Amino acid sequence: SLNLSNNQLTGSIPPELGNLTELWALHLHRNQLTGSIPPELGNLEALKRLDLRRNQLTGSIPRTFLQIHRLSRLYLHDNAGVCVPLDNQFQAWLYSSRTYGGYHRCASH
């Protein structure tokens, strides 16, 4: 488990966190993180909890997250604008992960 919450962290989420493949919980809430969620976090296949709320994140949840089958809690609320893909496969994954608000559906192209 890695908890870096409430630390006034700035900048983007380091993609290197995706190398922590045994990680089961990652808490980055209540910081000042910006940019998009790195696709490398999809390598965290053991992850059960991911808390990214109360930052300034934007962009789409990476499709690599479909590899995280054990995720049972995903917190995204209070960010600048995180969106999720519209396709059925991603929507089914999102439902199974018990995501808690803070996102909208990405505009289709």
| pLDDT (tens digit per residue) in 60-106 | 999 999 999 999 899 988 998 888 888 889 888 888 877 766 677 88
Please report, as a single letter, which amino acid is at residue 109: H
The pLDDT of residue 104: 78
**2 falls in which pLDDT band (50, 70, 90)?**
very high
Position 109 pLDDT exceeds 60: no
Cα 106 to Cα 10, 30, 46, 69, distances in angstroms: 25, 24, 26, 22
The pLDDT of residue 6: 98
Q: pTM for the complete prediction? A: 0.90
The pLDDT of residue 108: 62
The pLDDT of residue 83: 87
Q: What is the pLDDT of residues 14-61, one digit of tens each?
A: 999 999 999 999 999 999 999 999 999 999 999 999 999 999 999 999
Would you state the structure tokens that stand for residue 1, as one six-digit string? 């488990």
92/10: higher pLDDT: 10
Do 44 and 25 touch, CB atoms closer than 8 A? no
* Nearest CA among 3, 12, 7 for reference residue 38: 12
